[in-house]
């Protein structure tokens, strides 16, 4: 039995699972409504119960996503107060992240060694913080658009037009980033392919930690937490479940992205 290292708590994994499910639902329902006049978008609308039904689902799941985000923000603040805003376990950017980025750029062009990464790499921090500026924009503009009559009592009509453009642009940007960059970095890059199970199991092998995050490994050894995972191999049923779910999410995301890019090129909708 190989030794493992705790990476994500059960609550971390639950937050991630909720975000994956709600984000995919929002992507499908949002694109279905956006491209409802096209054959592809119309098929999504028909498959999922009609244009108005998609609106209700989109808004309802959006509320759930926003509440989950607010709960996570509260949890993150508590953790930051307990552990400190900065340090090896913090998700807050530091100058070291910019140094690591520069070191990896030099390594890619053959001018040095790869950066000795800590618990959170600079691209993982970017992934995390991207949600914090994207979610409020989507939530606020979504509420404004859904309650357009009430909103128009306080702002001019052009304000709703701007809200619609912001909502659409941020949603398309988020989908493009998640379905291309995040999926690749999380599961499709060579060191993670064919599936990175860490977000599902919550643990990494100590060999993986030593290779991918040597600075974190040094910190864990120094504090006596090295190899504090369960060391258990996931059951075949669990492994099959998260593999099917993970690749299902990747497949849905890429399917939506490819069709959206095709339609944007054909119709000029954006």
Q: What separation in angstroms does the CA of 3 have from each of 13, 66, 116, 206, 209?
A: 20, 37, 21, 6, 11
pLDDT band for 182, please (50, 70, 90 cuts): confident
> Residue holding tokens 């939530």?
139
What is the predicted pLDDT for the residue at 68? 93
What percent of the chain stands above pLDDT 70? Answer: 94
Distance, CA of 201 to CA of 58 (rounded, Å): 30
What is the predicted pLDDT for the residue at 69? 92
What is the predicted pLDDT for the residue at 85? 67
What is the predicted pLDDT for the residue at 67? 95
User: End-to-end CA distance of the chain, in Å?
Assistant: 52
- Condensed to tens digits (0 to 9), the pLDDT of residues 111-132 reads 889 999 999 999 889 888 887 7
- Condensed to tens digits (0 to 9), the pLDDT of residues 231-255 reads 888 889 999 999 899 889 989 998 9
| Higher pLDDT among residues 167 and 189, named by residue | 167
* Residue 1 in this model has a pLDDT that exceeds 60: no
> Residue holding tokens 């040095």?
112
Q: At what angle do helices 157-176 and 10-34 cross, to 10 degrees?
A: 120
Handedness of CA 172, 178, 253, 68 (dihedral sign): negative
- Condensed to tens digits (0 to 9), the pLDDT of residues 28-85 reads 999 999 999 999 999 999 988 888 999 999 999 999 999 999 999 898 888 878 776 6
- Condensed to tens digits (0 to 9), the pLDDT of residues 139-176 reads 999 999 999 999 999 888 889 999 999 999 999 999 98
What is the predicted pLDDT for the residue at 147? 93
Q: Phi and psi for 190 in degrees, rounded to 5? A: -55, -40
> Residue holding tokens 């070291």?
96
Number of domains in the chain: 1
**Length of the chain, please?**
270
What is the predicted pLDDT for the residue at 177? 87
Task: Output the six-digit token pair for 49.
Answer: 């119960």
Peptide bond into 194 cis (omega under 30): yes
Residue 5 pairs in a beta bridge with 204
Distance, CA of 133 to CA of 70 (rounded, Å): 13
Which among 188, 184, 187, 138 has a CA at the least distance from the CA of 165?
A: 138
- Condensed to tens digits (0 to 9), the pLDDT of residues 200-218 reads 999 999 998 999 899 999 9
Round the average pLDDT of the chain to a whole number and report it.
88
Distance, CA of 106 to CA of 183 (rounded, Å): 24
Handedness of CA 217, 235, 185, 64 (dihedral sign): negative
Say whether pTM exceeds 0.95: no
DSSP string computed for 112-143: SPPP---SS-HHHHHHHHHHHHHHHHHHHHHH
What is the predicted pLDDT for the residue at 106? 93
What percent of the chain stands above pLDDT 90? Answer: 50
Give the gyration radius of the chain's Cα atoms.
21
Range(s) of the domain holding residue 240:
4-267
Task: Output the six-digit token pair for 259.
Answer: 């069709």
* Residue 268 in this model has a pLDDT that exceeds 70: no
| Higher pLDDT among residues 256 and 229, named by residue | 256
Give Cβ neighbours of residue 178 (< 8 Å, ≥ 6 apart). Answer: 23, 253
Distance, CA of 69 to CA of 110 (rounded, Å): 41
Task: Output the six-digit token pair for 61.
Answer: 């799941």
CATH number of the domain residue 138 falls in: 1.20.950.20
- Condensed to tens digits (0 to 9), the pLDDT of residues 5-27 reads 999 999 999 999 999 999 999 99
Local structure of residue 50 (DSSP, 8 states) = -
What is the predicted pLDDT for the residue at 233? 85
What is the predicted pLDDT for the residue at 16? 92
């Amino acid at each position: 039995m190989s030794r493992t290292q705790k990476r994500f708590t059960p609550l971390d994994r639950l937050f991630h699972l909720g975000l994956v499910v709600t984000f995919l639902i929002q992507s499908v329902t949002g694109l279905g409504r956006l491209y409802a006049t096209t054959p592809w978008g119309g098929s999504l609308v028909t498959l999922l119960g009609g244009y108005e039904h998609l609106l209700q689902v989109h808004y309802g799941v959006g509320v759930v996503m926003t509440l989950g985000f607010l709960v996570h923000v509260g949890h993150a603040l508590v953790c930051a107060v307990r552990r400190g805003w900065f340090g090896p376990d913090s998700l807050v950017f530091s100058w070291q992240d910019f140094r690591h980025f520069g070191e990896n750029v030099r390594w890619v062009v053959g001018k040095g060694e790869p950066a000795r990464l800590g618990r959170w790499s600079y691209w993982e921090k970017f992934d995390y913080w991207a949600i914090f500026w994207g979610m409020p924009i989507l939530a606020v503009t979504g509420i404004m658009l859904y309650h357009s009559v009430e909103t128009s009592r306080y702002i001019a009509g052009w304000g709703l037009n701007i809200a619609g453009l912001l909502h659409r642009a941020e949603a398309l940007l988020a989908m493009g980033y998640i379905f291309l960059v995040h999926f690749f970095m999380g599961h499709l890059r060579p060191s993670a392919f064919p599936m990175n199970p860490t977000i599902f199991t919550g643990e990494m092998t100590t060999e993986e930690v030593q290779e991918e995050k040597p600075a974190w490994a040094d910190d864990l050894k120094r504090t006596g937490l090295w190899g504090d995972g369960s060391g258990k191999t996931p059951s075949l049923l669990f492994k099959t479940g998260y593999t099917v779910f993970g690749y299902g999410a990747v497949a849905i995301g890429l399917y939506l992205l490819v069709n959206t890019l095709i339609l944007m090129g054909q119709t000029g909708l954006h």
